Structure 1
């Protein structure tokens, strides 16, 4: 990875909070890398950078993407939701697909997802955060593909 600062756009719309507030040991203790929690308010997942869709599991509502600079992000939708075999999520993409910043990757049926909980909680982590010099999360309300989620120094 090159040594520079870059802005990572939020892939989801919602309210960002400290990931340590999640009631989930993998995220709260940062076993999956540094990240943030997000209370979902939108119905799309947007590519936050140019790269590749490296892993995709609709069943687990999880996507992993790798930026062209090597940054690896994991986005888990509805970690507070019961296991639903991917219900409420739609995409035409397959893993190993090249993605462009701002591209629509997923669409959600919020009404269907909210049948089990009024708040849809997501976890967004940088899987290779140990390789970064610095990560500054932006804790505020964000719009997918428009507002910064992280400032990273690689």
Structure 2
């Protein structure tokens, strides 16, 4: 998705990623890394007694995994610029396969050599239910002629 120069993007342009299945190991490793051991993610018995009836993936785990589904081209991508309007709309369970649909919704010039591409991301699972929605901003280089 982020593999071309700023001025090559068009508002309305779309892209769909490949999928990735969320595993129990993902939840355990993310808990270890982040320190987030909330029982809804890590305690099978606790989660069974919630309205989800089973463990769910951490929202931040889902955002982290979807970052890995994107293509960031070194030399073109300058930096992750931020996220806005993040919402987790449905649970992601162990065994769900997530992917994302992305649509360019805004392009802002940032000086003579860079610009910010804003993409609406809908993270979906195999049932096509949306599990997360956000606007991601990436600072991109412009193509410069020498």
Please give the TM-score of this superposition, normalised by the length of structure 2.
0.29
Q: Higher strand fraction: Structure 1 or Structure 2?
A: 1
More relative contact order, 1 or 2 (CA 8 Å, 6+ apart): 1
Q: TM-score when scaled to structure 1?
A: 0.28
More helix by share: 2
Largest Rg, 1 or 2: 2
